[in-house]
Amino acid sequence: MAQEWLKKYLTMKPEVSKVFDDLEAYHDYCRIELCDFNPAHLYDRANINYKAFLDSQRPRKPWVPKGEYKPRGQNNYRGPRNEQNFSR
């Protein structure tokens, strides 16, 4: 009976294990990106480092081209550059 009580006592709840997993992931991010690590900044969305960590965890959207690429010519947006366009 003592072993069952001890086993139940030493197991972590899912909420606690999520906090430690997030803390470890944040620590790894700060170590790799060479930014300041402070455990108090975990879940602080006002902190710049934690915002960057959240952005790095966000899944990326696949890039889909919108239509075909249409070249605009020879980059002559203002027309041809010759003596007639300059006022001297």
- Structural domain boundaries enclosing 17: 12-57
Indicate whether 84 belongs to any domain: no
Indicate whether 23 belongs to any domain: yes
Indicate whether 26 belongs to any domain: yes
- Position 36 scores a pLDDT of 93
In whole angstroms, how large is the CA radius of gyration of the chain? 28
The answer to whether the CB of 44 falls within 8 A of the CB of 22 is no
Indicate whether 37 belongs to any domain: yes
Number of domains observed in the structure of the chain:
1
Closest residue by Cα to residue 22 from 43, 52, 1, 47: 43
pLDDT in tens, 71-80: 566 655 555 5
Indicate whether 24 belongs to any domain: yes
Indicate whether 52 belongs to any domain: yes
Mean per-residue pLDDT, 76-87: 56
pLDDT in tens, 27-66: 999 999 999 999 999 999 999 999 999 999 988 887 767 7
Indicate whether 87 belongs to any domain: no
**How much is the pTM?**
0.60
For residue 7, pLDDT beyond 90: no
Indicate whether 42 belongs to any domain: yes
